Chain A
Amino acid sequence: MTTPIPQEAFNLAPAYAEVTLIIGASLLLLVDMFLSESKRSITYVLSLAILAILAGITFADFSAGTTAYTFNGMYVNDPMANLLKLATYVAVALTLVYSRQYVTQRGMMSGNLGGEFYVLALFAMLGQMVMISGSNFLTIYLGVELMSLSLYALVALRRDNHKATEAAMKYFILGALASGFLLYGISMLYGATGTLEISKVAAAVAAGTIKPAILVFGIVFLVAGLAFKLGAVPFHMWVPDVYEGSPTAVTLLLGGAPKIATFAICIRLLVEGLLPMAFDWQQMLMVLAVLSLAIGNLTAIAQTNLKRMLAYSTIAQIGFVLLGLLAGVVGTTDRTGIATAYSSSMYYILTYVLTTVGSFGLLMLLSRSGFEAETLNDFKGLSKRSGWFAVVMTILMFSLAGVPPMMGFAAKFSVLSAVLGTGQIWLTVVAVMFSLIGAFYYLRIVKLMWFDEPTDTAPIVAHGDMKFVLSLNGLAIVVLGILPGPLLAMCLKAMQATLAT
C-alpha cells in the first residue's frame, strides 16, 4: 500500500542546494589554486558566501513547507531536511569563522596546502546534505561515504603532527568498520525486502510477510553502524581519541554538523523505513542511551583534557538524543505523539550542536600560535582575562548541564517529556540522575573560570568576526533558552510533515 509519490524522474529543483554547493565548491577549488597564501581570506569569504546562498535556497524551500521527491524517489526534500540543512549550514559557517585564525597559524593552509580545509569542509557538508535528503539506502550510503572521506582527509591535514596522524588512522579504520556495519545491515534488509527504497521497505515490512529474524538481524547491524557514527556507547571508543588528536578546527567539523546528518539518517532508516519494527530497535536504542549517559557522564569527570571531556560530554548528550528517538509510542494511531517525540530529539541535537560549536570555538579563541588551549587549566581565571568570554563559556556550560534559562534546559525538558510520555518513569529518573552527575564537570569549568586565578596571562587575540560571532552564539543559547517556542514549533511541524508522507 504505497502512497503515490509526486515525483518526476529527473527534476533537479529539490536538489538545487546540493547542485549549487557542488558547483560552488568546485569553483572554489579552482579559484583557490590561483590565490597566494596571503590572499587566502578570499577563499574564506567565498566559502561563507556559498553557505549564505545555500541558506537562501533552503530557507525558501522551508518556508514553502513542501515535500518533493526526485531522481525516481531516491532523493527527498521535505521540511525536516530543510531545517536540518539550515542547522548544518549554521554549524559549518560557525566552524569556519571560529577556525580561520587557528588553521592559518597551524600551517594548515601553507606549504603544499592551499584552501583545502574550506573545500573539504564544504564537500563533507555536501555529504551531510545527501545523508539528510536520501530516501534510498544507496543515496544515504553515498552521503555517508562522501562525508567520511572528506573528514578522514581533514583529520590528516596536519600530516607532520603525529597526534593528528594517529587520530586520522583511528578514525579511518573505525569509520570504515562502521560503514561496513551499515552496509551489511542494508544488504540484509535489501535481501529481506527486495528493495532499497525506504518507502518501499516500509511497505514491505508493514505487510508482515517477511521473516522477522532476518529483519532484526539487519536492524542490529544498522543500529550498530549508526551508533558508531553517533558515538554511542559501546561504539564510542574512537570519539575521545579522535576529538583529542584532531586539530581543534577539525574536531569541530567532526563533532558538529555530522551529528545532525547522522540524526537525519536515523530518522530516515529507523523511523521512516522500519517503524513497524520499532519495538525491536527501541530496545536497542534504550541500551545504547542508558550506557551512553552512564559511561559518558562518569568518564567525563576523570578527564583533564578539555577536548576529551567534551568528547565524553558528547557521548552523554547523544544518550539524550537517543532517548528522544526511542520515545515514539508505536502502535497507536496517534501520529502527533510520535512526531512530538522525534521532534524533541531533533531539537536536542540542534541545541547540542549550537552549544558544542560554541565551546570548541572558545577553545580556539584561547589557543594561539604554538599553543593549544586544551587542558582544564587553560581556562583558569578566564573571567579576569576576558570577562565577557567567561560569561559566554558559562552560558555554554550551564546549557550543556541543562540549567534554565539556557537552551539546554528546553532541550532536556522536551526529551524528558517525550520519554515520560511512553510511561517509562524509571528511564526518566535514570536520565535526570546522570545529568546530575554531568552537572559536576560542567560546573568545574565554571569554577575554573570564575573562582581561580589565571595561570596563562597572554592576551586573547582574535579576529573581530570571530569575537562577534562567538558572542552571538552565546547570546543565542540564552535567547533560545528563554524563548524556545518558535524553534520547538518548527521542529514539530517539520517532523509532522515528514511523518505524514
Chain B
Amino acid sequence: MMQSTISTLPPYLSLAIWLPIVFGLIVLAVGRDTNAALVRVGSLIGAIVSFAATIPLITNFNNAAHGMQFVEKSPWIETFNIYYSLGIDGLSLWFVPLTAFITVIVVISAWQVIQKRVAQYMGAFLILSGLMIGVFCAMDGLLFYFFFEATLIPMYIIIGVWGGENRVYASFKFFLYTFFGSLLTLVAIIYLYRVTGTFDILTWHLTPLTMREQIFIFIAFFMAFAVKVPMFPVHTWLPDVHVEAPTGGSAVLAAIMLKLGAYGFLRFSLPITPDASHYLSGFVITLSLIAVIYVGLVALVQKDMKKLVAYSSIAHMGFVTLGFFIFNAIGVQGAIVQMISHGFISGAMFLCIGVLYDQAHSRQIADYGGVVNKMPKFAALFIFFSMANCGLPATSGFVGEFMVILGAVQYNFWIGLLAATALIFGAAYSLWMAKRVIFGKVTNHHVAALVDVNGREFFMLGVLAIAVLVMGLYPAPFTDTMQTSVADLLTHVAKSKLP
C-alpha cells in the first residue's frame, strides 16, 4: 500500500513492546512468594507504566495519514534481509493500548486470588502483553511470526501452572493446535521471502502472485489465523482451554489472543492474496455464518459458564471474519470495532465468572441462582455485561455487530439476515444464563455464603463497564481512526494482483 516514512517521534512502539517485557523479567528475577505484596505492587506499576506508554500512540495518531505511522526500522538479521520493523495504522492502533489495558486489569484481578508463585504469574502476563503488542506492531514478516509464536510459551505455562483440574490436557491442546497452524504459516512466510527477497510486509502487499500461489499462501495463512480466531471447525480447542485456564488467562485469551488471528487476516491474507481472498470468500463467509449460528446454538445448551462464554466468543468472532470477507468499508470497520468491543466484554465476562468461582468454586450454572440477593452490585455489573454481550444498543457490542450486519446486507441480503438472527441467539444464551445465575431465590448454601464484590473487584469491572458504555455511546473516535486505513485496504484488495 502506501509507503511509510520514518517518524521523528520517540520509539513509542518499542517502548510499548519492551516495557512490559522488561518489567516482567524484573518481577520474575526478584519476586519470591515471601515478598508477594511487593511483587503485586511492582507488577501493577509495571502494567500501568506500560499502559501509559501506549497513550501517546492515540494522541499522536494522524487519522488522515495513509500508510504506517510511528515507523521504526533497523536491520536485525542481515543474512536474510530481516528488519526490526514496526509501525501501526488504523487497523492495529487500538489493539496496542487495549492489550496494555487488559494487562492492568488482569494484574488487579489476580491481587488476592493468586497466592502461589505470584511473581511467575504476574511476570508471565507482563511478558505476554509485550509479545502480543509486538504482533500488532510488527511490519516484518519474520518479526511478526517471532512474536506470534513466542506468545505460546507464557500462555502454555499460565494454563498449565494455574489452571483447573484438567489443565495439562488444556495446555497441550492449546499449544499443539496453534503451533500446527502457525508452522504452515511459517512455510508461507518463507515462500514469500523466496519470491520477493524481503520480509517487508508492505512489499509483500505489492508483489504479484499467480492464482495458484495465492490460494496456497491463503490456505497456509488461514490455517494459523483460523485456528487462532478460532473459526468453525477448528474452534474445538477454545472451550476446553477456557474452562481450564485461570481467570486472567481466560480474559487475556478471549480479549487479545483471539484478535491476533483476526488481525492476521487484515495484515496478511486480504492484502497479500486479494484474488484468493475474493475467490475463497464464499468459503470463509460460510464458515463464519456457521460459527455465528451453529456455535451460538451450541452456547445455548452449555451448563458450564466459562464454556458458554467461550462458545459465545467463537460466535462473536464469527462476526469479525464475516465483516472482513464481505469487502465493504462498513463491514470491515464493524469487524474491527467488534474486535475491540469483544476484548472488553469477553474479558469482563470471564472476570465476572472468576469472581463467582473464587467464592463458590464452581462454574456450573446449576450451582447458582439468586446471586442478586447476596451480591447486588455484582449482579448489576453481570447483567450489564450480559446485555453488552448480546449486543444491546448503547453498549459497544451493538456497534460492531450492527455495522457488520449492515455491511452484510449491502453485500447480500440473505447473508445479512442470517447474521442478524445471531443477535437473537446471543440474547438468548446470554440472558438465559444471567437469569439462571443471578435471579430467582437463593438456591443453596454456597450462594447464601456469597459476599458482594469488594472495592478492587468493583473497580476493575467498573472500568470495563465504562469502556463498554463509552464505546457504545460514542464510537466515533474509534471509527474515525480506522477510516483511512480501511478505505486504503479495500482499494488495495479490490485490485487484482495476478501477474
Please report the C-alpha to C-alpha distance between residue A440 and residue B171 in the assembled complex, in whole angstroms.
11
Stretch at the interface among B37-45, B183-191, B469-477: B183-191
B459 contacts chain A at the CB level, 8 A cutoff: no
Given A404-B146, A413-B142, A439-B179: A429 touches B168 (CB 8 Å cut-off): no
> Residues of A contacting B232 with CB < 8 Å?
none
> Residues of B contacting A436 with CB < 8 Å?
176, 179-180, 183
Residue interface mask B117-159, A partner, CB < 8 A = 1: 0001000000000000000000000100111011011001100
Contact B183 A433 (CB under 8 A): yes
Contact of A451 among B79, B150, B168 (CB under 8 A): B168
Which residues in window 412-464 of A have CB below 8 A to B?
413-414, 416-417, 420-421, 425, 428-429, 432-433, 435-436, 439-440, 443, 446-447, 450-451
Which residues in window 448-501 of A have CB below 8 A to B?
450-451, 483-485, 488-489, 492
Which range holds the interface residue count of chain B? Answer: 35 or more
Contact A450 B146 (CB under 8 A): no
B77 contacts chain A at the CB level, 8 A cutoff: yes
Given A404-B146, A433-B183: A489 touches B78 (CB 8 Å cut-off): yes
Minimum C-beta distance from B157 to chain A (A): 6
A403 contacts chain B at the CB level, 8 A cutoff: yes
Which residues in window 287-301 of A have CB below 8 A to B?
none
Please report the C-alpha to C-alpha distance between residue A451 and residue B145 in the assembled complex, in whole angstroms.
27
Which residues in window 157-201 of B have CB below 8 A to A?
157, 160-161, 167-168, 171-172, 175-176, 179-180, 183-184, 186-187, 190-191, 193-194
> Residues of B contacting A483 with CB < 8 Å?
76
> Residues of B contacting A443 with CB < 8 Å?
156, 172, 175-176
Please report the C-alpha to C-alpha distance between residue A433 and residue B182 in the assembled complex, in whole angstroms.
11
Contact of B149 among A403, A421, A450, A451 (CB under 8 A): A403
B80 contacts chain A at the CB level, 8 A cutoff: yes
Contact of B160 among A432, A451, A492 (CB under 8 A): A451
Q: Please, which residue of chain A has its CB at the minimum distance from the CB of B76? A: A485
| Residue in B79, B157, B172 whose Cβ sees the most chain A Cβ within 10 Å | B79
Given A405-B150, A447-B168, A451-B167: A432 touches B80 (CB 8 Å cut-off): no
Contact B190 A403 (CB under 8 A): no
Contact A414 B168 (CB under 8 A): no
Given A417-B190, A432-B183, A451-B167: A439 touches B176 (CB 8 Å cut-off): yes
Contact B167 A485 (CB under 8 A): no
Contact B194 A403 (CB under 8 A): no
Contact A489 B79 (CB under 8 A): yes
> Residues of B contacting A409 with CB < 8 Å?
146, 149
Residue interface mask B55-94, A partner, CB < 8 A = 1: 0000000000000000000011111100000000000000
> Residues of B contacting A425 with CB < 8 Å?
187, 191, 216
Given A429-B184, A436-B176: A420 touches B149 (CB 8 Å cut-off): no
Minimum C-beta distance from A332 to chain B (A): 15
Please report the C-alpha to C-alpha distance between residue A409 and residue B191 in the assembled complex, in whole angstroms.
17
Contact B194 A417 (CB under 8 A): yes
Please report the C-alpha to C-alpha distance between residue A492 and residue B80 in the assembled complex, in whole angstroms.
11
A360 contacts chain B at the CB level, 8 A cutoff: no
> Residues of A contacting B77 with CB < 8 Å?
410, 484-485, 488
Please report the C-alpha to C-alpha distance between residue A105 and residue B379 in the assembled complex, in whole angstroms.
65
Contact A428 B172 (CB under 8 A): no
Q: Please, which residue of chain B has its CB at the minimum distance from the CB of A439? A: B179
Minimum C-beta distance from A448 to chain B (A): 10
Contact A435 B183 (CB under 8 A): yes
Give the number of chain A interface residues (Cβ < 8 Å).
35
> Residues of B contacting A263 with CB < 8 Å?
none
Q: Please, which residue of chain B has its CB at the minimum distance from the CB of A489? A: B79
Please report the C-alpha to C-alpha distance between residue A45 and residue B183 in the assembled complex, in whole angstroms.
45
Q: Please, which residue of chain A has its CB at the minimum distance from the CB of B145? A: A404
Given A398-B153, A436-B183, A439-B175: A450 touches B190 (CB 8 Å cut-off): no
Contact A416 B172 (CB under 8 A): no
Contact A440 B183 (CB under 8 A): no
Please report the C-alpha to C-alpha distance between residue A57 and residue B184 in the assembled complex, in whole angstroms.
44
Please report the C-alpha to C-alpha distance between residue A428 and residue B172 in the assembled complex, in whole angstroms.
24
Please report the C-alpha to C-alpha distance between residue A433 and residue B157 in the assembled complex, in whole angstroms.
23
Q: Please, which residue of chain A has its CB at the minimum distance from the CB of B147? A: A404
Contact of B190 among A410, A413, A433, A489 (CB under 8 A): A413
> Residues of A contacting B171 with CB < 8 Å?
447, 451
> Residues of A contacting B160 with CB < 8 Å?
446-447, 450-451
Please report the C-alpha to C-alpha distance between residue A416 and residue B220 in the assembled complex, in whole angstroms.
15
Please report the C-alpha to C-alpha distance between residue A79 and residue B216 in the assembled complex, in whole angstroms.
40
> Residues of A contacting B190 with CB < 8 Å?
413, 416-417, 420, 428
Q: Please, which residue of chain A has its CB at the minimum distance from the CB of B163? A: A451
Which residues in window 241-259 of B have CB below 8 A to A?
none
Minimum C-beta distance from A421 to chain B (A): 6
Q: Please, which residue of chain A has its CB at the minimum distance from the CB of B175? A: A443
Please report the C-alpha to C-alpha distance between residue A485 and residue B81 in the assembled complex, in whole angstroms.
10
Contact A420 B191 (CB under 8 A): yes
Minimum C-beta distance from B120 to chain A (A): 8
> Residues of A contacting B150 with CB < 8 Å?
403-405
Which residues in window 373-417 of A have CB below 8 A to B?
387, 394, 398, 403-405, 409-410, 413-414, 416-417
> Residues of B contacting A447 with CB < 8 Å?
160, 168, 171-172
Minimum C-beta distance from B445 to chain A (A): 32
Residue interface mask A338-359, B partner, CB < 8 A = 1: 0010000000000000000000
Please report the C-alpha to C-alpha distance between residue A425 and residue B150 in the assembled complex, in whole angstroms.
25
Minimum C-beta distance from B472 to chain A (A): 38
Please report the C-alpha to C-alpha distance between residue A483 and residue B78 in the assembled complex, in whole angstroms.
10
Q: Provide 19 A-B residue pairs closer than 8 Å at the C-beta atoms, listed in order of the A residue.
A: A398-B153, A403-B152, A403-B179, A404-B150, A416-B186, A420-B191, A425-B187, A429-B184, A432-B183, A435-B183, A440-B172, A443-B175, A446-B157, A447-B168, A450-B157, A483-B76, A485-B75, A485-B76, A488-B77
The 8 closest A-B pairs by CB, nearest first: A432-B183, A485-B77, A451-B160, A488-B79, A404-B146, A404-B149, A404-B150, A417-B190
Residues of A within 8 A of B (CB): 340, 387, 394, 398, 403-405, 409-410, 413-414, 416-417, 420-421, 425, 428-429, 432-433, 435-436, 439-440, 443, 446-447, 450-451, 483-485, 488-489, 492
Known: A432-B187, A447-B172, A485-B79. 9 other contacts (CB 8 A): A340-B79, A403-B153, A405-B150, A429-B184, A439-B176, A440-B176, A447-B168, A451-B168, A492-B79
